[in-house]
Structure 1
Amino acid sequence: MPPTDSIADLKGAVEVAARALRDGEPTEPAPTLDRPPKPDLGDYSSNAAMLLAGPLGDNPRAVAERLRGELEGSLGGDGSLDRVEVAGPGFVNLFLSDAWYRRALAVLVAAGDDLGPEPTASPEKIVVEFVSANPTGPLHVGGGRGGAYGDAVVRLLSAIGHEVEREYYINDAGTQITNFARSISARIKGEELPEDGYKGDYVAELGETIAAEGIDPDDLEAVGSRGIELMIDAVRATLSRFGVEMDTWFSERSLVERGDVDAALAKLDAGGHTYQHEGALWLRTTTFGDDKDRVLIRSDGEPTYLMPDIAYHWDKLERGFDRLINVLGADHHGYVARLRASIEALGADPESFEALIMSLVHIVEDGQRAQMSKRSGDFVSLDDLIDDIGVDAVRWFMLWRSHETTVDIDLALARKQASDNPVYYVQYAHARIASILRKAVDEGSAVPESIDPGERSEPLAASEKALIKRLLEFPNEVRESAARRAPHRICAYSTAVAADFHAFYRDCQVVGAEGEGVEASRLALCLAAKRTIAGALGLLGISAPERM
């Protein structure tokens, strides 16, 4: 972990100053410390005076003046502060000294590759279930978006200290598997496909493989089982190529075979949460906040899809997970309340369940959107998209917008090797820094792994300060992105780091820079920026190339 978090230290100084005005009592909510909208308003700005005005019975500007005195005493004493100004209705604006920036840079460099946040004080054991596409066809780009997102969420949660596992739920039971088997069988026998069957070319390929293995096409159980095995192998290979390695592949069929579905149903019965109505067995989910009760067992004796799902989530809890996170498709909005209610009916904490609903993703080429449907056979597979634009571009364009926002992947943009392609722009910044560091070594300069803040005599350029300030935001960005399940924030952050680096390199000579300690501090800044970009891209599952 970094030896200190420079921004957290500043925020702590503001909180200490606020406590001093209240005889040691904390301020609720805690004061913020943000970048002001304009550079001439300081390096950081706090709303502490506005929060304190009520409890102190004074106007905010008067409180801000008192805070200024406290901060000048604490931060001014170690040379961190240039000045404090009171602005507007009572904002306290901090103008930091070069000495503060030099110390902050020294901290960044000393941290090495470990630039992320301190581990959470309350670590949880978490399972993130994602992708979980029906094993009836190749993984299409919709499943790919869930894969990129779920994997990034796991990386973020792990980065803040949680114990996280990736899980794929194999829907290998139900009517869609029967339809799948009938479709393969028809292909093998050269018969017309069933009306509700699967029509893609991949079904014919499966038929050829299964026929070559000598499996009787009329044995639908054997055909379906082998078809599922082959499709899961294909999905596993696609996800591995995509940089997603599942810890567990969990079979729905195994729940039935082990008796877990019956056991979960017995537990619901014993709790008095089920009842018979019109020949069906219902669950009183309205007792737990659902808008209507749900059928568990139909009048024909067949379970609804909800029943094995309840058993599956009970199994997760029995495996000791504190939090169950499901990444679900856009058509699952109505599903969340009934599953949360079911978990509560089992006697578990409904807040342990968390659903993240994905919006749609579209492939756009020449202004036209491609359609995706396994049954029609007209879809864009994730493998095809990776073949076209590469893993890094696919992951970026699936992650750079909120998961709740529909994404259009413009293939023309994603193929470009130019700065208007955002993933290229960020990766190029990393490669450019690597080139600068190689040049420094070639010309006889050492790239410092540590620096003495007092060695540099020349003042820092504004673009140097801007880049240092941006790099210092990384721990908080990781924390916020993890808490909000929002990897798109890391995309935005890494783009901002790249932009700040390009501005710095445009303004400042690095290799061969004149002035005592200037070259060393700028090389150190380049190294810290390179590490930060690599760390951010790593959280997205995207590579950080040394050369481009």
Structure 2
Amino acid sequence: MLLIKSELLELLRNAVEQVVRENNLPVEILDRPLTLEVPKMPEHGDFATTFALAAAKQARINPRELAQKILDRLPVGQGPLKSAELAGPGFINLRIADASLAAGLRRVLDAGDDWGRGAPVAGRINLEFVSANPTGPMHVGHGRGAAVGDALARILRFGGREVFTEYYVNDAGRQVSHLAASIWSRYIDLCREQDDSIEAVPFPEDGYHGGYVVDFARSYLERFGLAPARAGYDAAAMKAFGVELAMAEIRTTLEQFNVRFDVFTSEATLHDDGAVTRAMDLLAGKGLTYEQEGALFFAATRFGDEKDRVMIRANGEPTYFAADIAYHLHKFNRGFDQLMDIWGADHHGYISRVKCALEAFGYRQDQLEVLLVQFVSLVNQGEKLAMGKRSGNFVTLQDLIDTVSCDVTRWFFLAKTHDVAVDFDLEVATSADPRENPARYVQYGHARACAIWRRAAMWNLTVADLSSADFTRLAAPEEQAIARMLLSYPELVADAAANCLPHRVASYALDLCRAFHSYYTRFKDDPILPRSGQELADRAKTIDRLGLVEAYRTVLRSCLSLLGITAPEAMTAPEEE
């Protein structure tokens, strides 16, 4: 549709130029943006423009009169323009010529899986997401961030961007210390079952109570025996052990969730190799740090932050903020032009201070874009489940994947915009019926198209036969509506990439499936393929329709791929079918 849209815009631009010239209107009118939007109601055409409404005051002409003058100069019936009409106070509604739709479907088939792929765009993007603390299994909130980040990476790459995905391992903070102390306490409990002379260790007040901590402790006992208990607590060794086991479990879950990272970066490494110290020295060299009451501050207010930020506490311990800004500087030093972070909604107040630090380092604040992912609530039989990681009362992402599958979990996380909270309905998600489960409904849309092709073999029809399709026999409004949706896919992908909104791909896929399922069921008296044992009444028409099915299957498969969801070739049909 992008090509057709650009052609229509050129026709409109020429018409406006003629109207300005013939009526001695201010030439500044030509500087106004000329845009086309898709009307909400199909009866209002394929595209509409409000240009006459916007330019009327400058032209000193009634909007409807200006719109009529533009209409009079449009070459209706030529090229991609089938019709144009005046509506309301000055809208111009346009309809696409059937021949343009037919040519567009041929482009879809010729492009195949590359339909909608954007041209290469200069610049390297670092996309960091998940970055869950290595203090235990991933919970469902982490899962949503993982789904959004992975889908966004896929969409950006498909849109022509060079994207590098990264997981930041927070292995140097207090949470890891709390985990280590928790494992140690549980480990001592296990050791005392074998040797009660070992002194008991109370469980830490800020410890982690999940059952996985006992599992970690048992693994530690199996690997090292009683020797560490008799030697005494080694915080560094226990931290390393806890992070090792937690990250192994996180990596396994991510793999099963169809999420892969180009690199995992350790926070501890940034401290060890001096990156944090160098970042603070760089700010100090610019006169942007000062000491107060024994602490070292970054003068963030000079760059628009609400207050200055502590980098070194009075006890000499670096803050997480100090490591975080060093990490972002580290990304730029690796040659990235744009940074994108996906954080939890509770990090909203953290954005400004990091952007201010980047400006202090010499970068633009808009070179960091942060997406905040809202919370997920699990709903079972109408009631929300209470969850809390520290208390151990939470549902892991692995549990959810095992219960409802990777595909369904990803769909439910991606179906809504990331800045809206999700109520994950387990009753709906566990249903295998496409009529009840939207994830299965979309997957069934692909399986149905594959089933049509399997039936086509009964009449010796294959994809190779589509070389003769010219699509001139797709006269039904439902067929043309599907064609328009397929042609709009490149614009949809470009929009989703530009605005970092993966849910738009999910919404488009759902709408496309609804249109196709409706078309399939409403045309049972004139089906795409005849019933078994019947001859083809109109081979050319059948090939045109199969061409539409193939174009639909191609685009839907692309949508599912961008969402990281499989496109099954066969599924059990609902009972009524």
Partner of 1:208, secondary structure, is helix
Residue 64 (structure 1) aligned with residue 67 (structure 2): yes
Is 1:371 matched with 2:371? Answer: no
How do 1:146-545 and structure 2 match up within 5 A?
146-190=145-189, 191-214=201-224, 216-217=228-229, 218-418=233-433, 419-448=435-464, 450-451=466-467, 456=472, 458=473, 460-508=475-523, 509-512=527-530, 514-515=537-538, 517-545=540-568
- The structure-2 alpha-carbon separation of the partners of 1:7 and 1:523, relative to structure 1 and needing over 3 Å to count, comes to farther
Shift of 1:71: 2.3
Residue type matched to 2:223 in 1? E
TM-score by length of 1: 0.94
> What is the one-letter code of the residue matched to 1:57?
R
The alpha carbon displacement at 1:164 in A equals 0.4
- Structure 1 equivalent of residue 115 of structure 2: 115
Q: Is the 8 A contact 2:295 2:313 kept in 1?
A: yes
Q: 1:467-522: CA deviations, max 9, x gaps?
A: 00111111111111111111111111101100111122223421246446211111
Secondary structure of 1:33's aligned partner: coil
Q: What secondary structure, in the 3-state scheme, does the structure 2 residue paired with 1:189 have?
A: helix
Aligned to 2:194: none
The alignment status of 1:42 with 2:45, answered yes or no, reads yes
- Amino acid aligned to 1:535: S
SS for the counterpart of 1:136 is coil
1:101 alignment partner in structure 2: 101
SS in 1 for 2:261: coil
- Greater CA deviation, 92-101 or 9-18? 9-18
CA deviation map 1:37-60 (0-9, x unaligned): 433332322223223434433222
**How big is the shift at 1:26?**
8.0
Distance 1:56 1:118, change over 3 A: farther
Distance 1:168 1:82 in 2: 51
CA contact (8 A) 2:469 2:540 kept: no
Query: Does structure 2 conserve the Cα–Cα contact (< 8 Å) formed by 1:341 and 1:350?
Result: yes
1:376 deviates by 1.0
Larger-gyration structure (1/2): 2
State the AA in 1 paired with 2:16.
Answer: A
8 Å CA contact retained: 2:493, 2:505? yes
CA distance in 2, matches of 1:94, 1:119: 28
**Does structure 2 conserve the Cα–Cα contact (< 8 Å) formed by 1:328 and 1:356?**
yes
Q: Whole-Å Cα distance in 1 between the matches of residues 510 and 168 of structure 2?
A: 34
Q: 1:252 to 1:402 in 2, by over 3 A?
A: same
Confirm or deny that 1:6 pairs with 2:4. Answer: yes
Structure 1 equivalent of residue 192 of structure 2: none
Letter paired with 1:15: R
How much has 1:448 moved relative to structure 2?
A: 4.8
Q: Secondary structure at the match of 1:71?
A: coil
The letter of the residue matching 1:375 is R
- CA separation of 1:268 and 1:516: change in aligned 2, threshold 3 A: same
Structure 1 pair 377–180 and aligned structure 2 pair: CA distance change class (3 A) = same
TM-score (normalizing by structure 2) = 0.89
CA distance in 2, matches of 1:449, 1:225: 61
Specify the code of the residue in structure 1 equivalent to 2:42: P
Provide closer, same or farther for how the CA distance between residues 60 and 117 of structure 1 changes in structure 2, counting only shifts above 3 A. Answer: farther
Whole-angstrom distance in 1 between the partners of 2:438 and 2:376:
18
* Distance of aligned partners of 1:450 and 1:60 in 2 relative to their CA distance in 1, 3 Å threshold: farther
Contact 1:455 1:516 in 2 (8 A): no
Judged with a 3 Å threshold, the aligned counterparts in structure 2 of structure 1 residues 39 and 221 are, in CA distance, closer, same or farther, namely closer
Structure 1 residues 319 and 489, CA gap change in structure 2 (3 angstroms): same
Percent identity over the alignment is: 39
Equivalents in 2 of 1:213, 1:156: separation in Å?
Answer: 43
Q: Could you report, residue by residue, the CA deviation over 1:342-371 in whole angstroms, capped at 9, with x for unpaired residues?
A: 111112221111111111001111222223
Q: What amino acid is the match of 1:214?
A: F
One-letter code aligned to 2:222: A
Q: Which residue of 1 is the match for residue 77 of structure 2? A: 76
CA separation in 2, counterparts of 1:496 and 1:414?
19
Q: What is the distance in 2 between the residues matched to 1:367 and 1:37?
A: 33
Contact map agreement 1:131 1:327 (CA 8 A) in 2: yes
Write the distance in 2 (CA, Å) between the matches of 1:453 and 1:441: 17
The answer on whether the counterparts of 1:110 and 1:450 sit within 8 Å (CA) in structure 2 is no
* Amino acid across the alignment from 2:243: I
Deviation at 1:88, TM superposition (A): 1.1
The 3-state SS of whatever aligns with 1:164 is: strand
| CA distance in 1 between partners of 2:166 and 2:508 (Å) | 28
Q: Relative to structure 1, is the Cα distance of residues 284 and 82 closer, same or farther in structure 2, using a 3 angstrom cutoff?
A: same
Asked if 2 retains the 8 angstrom alpha-carbon contact of 1:285 and 1:342, the reply is yes
Q: Tell me, in whole angstroms, the C-alpha distance in 2 between the residues paired with 1:452 and 1:5.
A: 23
What is the deviation of 1:67? Answer: 2.2
SS in 2 for 1:165: strand
Contact 2:471 2:545 in 1 (8 A): no
The CA distance in 2 between the partners of 1:531 and 1:459, in whole Å, is 18
